[in-house]
A and B are shown apart, each in its own frame.
Chain A
Amino acid sequence: MFAKKQWLTASLILVCIGAAGAINILINGEHVMGNNNQVPWGILIAGYVFFAASSTGVGLISSLGHVFGIKRFELLGKRALLISIILLLCGFGVLALELANPLNMIYILLSPNIKSPIWWMGALYGLYLLLLFAEFYYSLKEDHKKVKPIANIALITKLAAVSNLGVVFGMLHSRPFWQGPYYSLYMILTAILSGAAILSIVFYFVGQKGRTVIYQGENIVRNLGKILAGALFITVIFTFWKILTSLYGGIPGKAGAAIALLAGPLGLKFWLMEIILGIFLPLFLLIKYSFQPVKVMFASILTMLGVLFMRLDFVLSGQIIPLEMIEGLQITGYNAYVPGWSEWALILGAIGATIFLYMLGEKKFNLDVVVDIHQHQENLASTKTTLVKVEA
Chain B
Amino acid sequence: MARFAMLIDASRCTGCNACRIACQMQWQLPPERYYNRLEHNEKGTYPNTKWEITPIQCMHCDNPPCRDVCPTGATYKRTDGLVLIDSEKCIGCKYCMVACPYGVRQINYDGIPEKCRFCAEYIIEGKMPPCVSTCMNEVRIFGDLDDPESKISKVMAKKAVYQLLPEKGTRPRIFYVRK
Residues on A facing B (Cβ under 8 Å): 29-30, 35-38, 40-41, 98-102, 104-105, 107-108, 110-113, 115-119, 122, 168, 171-175, 318-319, 322-323, 325-326, 328-330
Check B27 for interface membership: any CB of A closer than 8 A: no
B107 and A40 form a contact (CB under 8 A): yes
Nearest CB on B from A283, distance (A):
33
Give the nearest-CB partner of B56 in chain A.
Answer: A325
Q: List 19 A-B contacts (CB under 8 A).
A: A37-B106, A40-B94, A40-B107, A98-B93, A100-B107, A100-B112, A101-B111, A101-B112, A107-B91, A117-B69, A118-B69, A119-B72, A172-B65, A172-B69, A172-B98, A174-B99, A174-B100, A325-B103, A328-B43
B99 and A112 form a contact (CB under 8 A): no
Nearest CB on A from B80, distance (A):
21
Partner of B70 from the list A100, A116, A322 (CB cut-off 8 Å) is A116
- Consensus secondary structure, chain B interface: loop
Give the nearest-CB partner of B109 in chain A.
Answer: A29
Question: Which has the most chain B C-beta neighbours within 10 Å: A117, A118, A175?
Answer: A118
Question: Known contacts A325-B165, A326-B164, A329-B39: does B97 contact A108 (CB below 8 Å)?
Answer: no
B41 and A326 form a contact (CB under 8 A): yes
Residues of A within 8 A of B39 (CB): 325-326, 329
Question: Known contacts A116-B70, A118-B95: does B110 contact A100 (CB below 8 Å)?
Answer: yes
How many residues of B sit at the interface, in one of the four size bands?
Answer: 35 or more
Nearest CB on A from B121, distance (A):
23
Question: Known contacts A29-B111, A325-B103: does B42 contact A330 (CB below 8 Å)?
Answer: yes
Question: Known contacts A40-B94, A101-B91: does B70 contact A325 (CB below 8 Å)?
Answer: no
Check B168 for interface membership: any CB of A closer than 8 A: yes
Partner of A40 from the list B43, B72, B88, B97 (CB cut-off 8 Å) is B97
A174 and B91 form a contact (CB under 8 A): no
Question: Known contacts A100-B112, A325-B102: does B89 contact A111 (CB below 8 Å)?
Answer: yes
Residues of A within 8 A of B73 (CB): 107, 111-113
Residues of B within 8 A of A319 (CB): 98
Residues of B within 8 A of A328 (CB): 41, 43
Residues of B within 8 A of A329 (CB): 39, 41
Question: Which has the most chain A C-beta neighbours within 10 Å: B41, B42, B168, B169?
Answer: B41
Question: Which 4 pairs between the two chains have the least Cβ-Cβ distance?
Answer: A100-B111, A100-B92, A107-B72, A174-B101
The complex places the Cα of A38 from the Cα of B94 at a distance, in Å, of 11
Residues of A within 8 A of B41 (CB): 326, 328-330
Nearest CB on B from A166, distance (A):
14
Check B90 for interface membership: any CB of A closer than 8 A: yes
Give the nearest-CB partner of B91 in chain A.
Answer: A104
Nearest CB on A from B162, distance (A):
9
The complex places the Cα of A331 from the Cα of B10 at a distance, in Å, of 19
Give the nearest-CB partner of B103 in chain A.
Answer: A323
Residues of A within 8 A of B69 (CB): 115-118, 171-172
- Binary interface profile of B, 103-120, with partner A (CB < 8 Å = 1, else 0)? 101110111110000000
Question: Known contacts A101-B111, A107-B74, A115-B68: does B101 contact A173 (CB below 8 Å)?
Answer: yes
The complex places the Cα of A370 from the Cα of B79 at a distance, in Å, of 63
Nearest CB on B from A380, distance (A):
53
Nearest CB on B from A11, distance (A):
29
The complex places the Cα of A321 from the Cα of B174 at a distance, in Å, of 24
Give the nearest-CB partner of A175 in chain B.
Answer: B98
Nearest CB on B from A274, distance (A):
22
Residues of A within 8 A of B113 (CB): 40
Residues of A within 8 A of B98 (CB): 40-41, 172, 174-175, 318-319
The complex places the Cα of A41 from the Cα of B98 at a distance, in Å, of 8
Question: Known contacts A37-B103, A101-B91: does B71 contact A119 (CB below 8 Å)?
Answer: yes
Give the nearest-CB partner of A331 in chain B.
Answer: B41
B71 and A112 form a contact (CB under 8 A): yes
Residues of A within 8 A of B101 (CB): 173-174, 323, 325
Give the nearest-CB partner of B59 in chain A.
Answer: A325
